Structure 1
Amino acid sequence: MVVLKAVFLFLRALVMARLGLVAENLALRQQLAVCIHSNKRPKLRTRDRVFWTWLMRLWPDWRSALLIVQPETVIRWHRQGFRLYWRWKSRASKPGRPAIEAEVRALIRRMCQENPTWGAPRIQSELKLLGHELAESTVAKYMLRAPKPSSQTWRTFLDNHVQDLAAVDFFTVPTATFRVLFCFVVLRHDRRRVVHFNVTTNPTARWTAQQMIEAFPFDYAPRYLIRDRDGVYGVYFRNRVDRMGIDEVPIAPRSPWQNPYCERVIGSIRRECLDHVIVLDERHLKRILHAYFDYYHNCRTHLSLERNSPEPREVEPPSGGDVIAIPQVGGLHHRYTRAA
């Protein structure tokens, strides 16, 4: 009997301690809520932001305890920390070449204007005789270039071959641990369909070529493939694409506008999905992108597709019933339909 009484008192003490902790937590939250509603927004210091950024990585239920800012603010702090971290990692260990004086730059432009037929070697020679030792590439960098007439050639090419075009591109995604994942996207132009994607930490020409085989396994390969001039599209990739009967169309250097559809898709992925989540690892990113592309193909409307989705949706008349919302991509987006 004495033992049972002791056990009962012990359990009672545990329950009372737990209730006391819950009551104290509730009281502190109520006082914090009063402070938030009655005073100006608190000014957060850098260490406060660092605290919440690390707590977000260590505690899955961190959103439930957050009151002073919105969860999206903490996610933004994390991305700022990612940029600062890699800016620090990528800082130059040694200073580069000394900057060219403004007087010399002006002299190069003057020679270009006064001598339209001169090239970089001729101007470099004149500068050497004037006591300025510059590399030919440096002279070419600061030369004035004659404006080229605008052309519709590239747009006309895209419009005339939209049924036979595909485009590829990479984009990077930071993880919660500041690693960088590379996502490869293959897009068909005709219905803006992402026919294939994959994620890796180390893209190579062999890996990229394998993605093309998986994207077009049988006789579905397009006639033309638009890509940039990244070094990952090496000899192995080019040989594999050539054996598939695809003609490559590399865009001009630093001209992403020549791959507009793929760039637009990547921008949509960032704005509509990845800017709102913290990616944990490669598997997590694949799961998120699978959900987004399912929404992108079956639900999301496109102006270029007459305000319909890549997989066309039927128009539902008002008499079809009440409008209901179906969450997509974990609730980031919704598909609206009529309940039968």
Structure 2
Amino acid sequence: MIGLFCFVLAGLASPFKSKLRLEAENAVLRHQLIVLRLSLHGRVRVTNHDRWFFIQLYRWFPSILQVLTIIRPETLVRWHRVGFLRYWCWKSRSPEGRPQIETDLRALIRRMSVENPLWGAPRIHGELLKLGFEVAQSSVAKYMVKRRAPPSQGWRTFLRNHAPDIAAMHCLLSPTIGFNLLYAFVIMRLDRRDLAWINVTANPTAEWVARFLGMGLRVT
């Protein structure tokens, strides 16, 4: 750890990349000497701190593989891969949350939803509470059987199926040559696009509009 701290200080103080690489290689050589001095009976003992030190320098400067003597370069690469795998296993661990409910209760929820297709999650949740099961409504909705909704017809299919029974109504305004205004109410069938009803007035009233709206409803 002291060697790594000295290397970081030297790296911050040096503006040259080649010098940084030289400092990294010297730090690796010094640390290897420390590991050899602490080893007993001629067997090299590398601790996790030593592995972490070598791996960090290898990440920053892959050229340190040229000065490794107590370990093989492929061993260092393998340590790096194992550390990478353990790190992402730790990052992707399942978060703590609500524990899963028992298998029998999940089967009961599915059975109740199948045998009672009109029951939603609130109804099934209430029935389970009556039976003494402590479960959240969101968990009930999660384990219910998902039913496919029937396919809905598109707008074009709807018009093709119901066009004979639909009429379009429109009220329009038309000026005359004498600068008067005429109000026309038009009803047209959609299936054949023929004119079913038309009426024109110069003084439209609410009764006139209501009468022809009713006429349009009778035409459809």
Bin of the TM-score, shorter chain as denominator length = 0.3 to 0.5
Q: Taking structure 1 as the reference length, what is the TM-score of the superposition?
A: 0.25
Question: Which has the larger Rg?
Answer: 2
Q: Which has the higher helix share?
A: 2
TM-score, with structure 2 as normaliser = 0.36
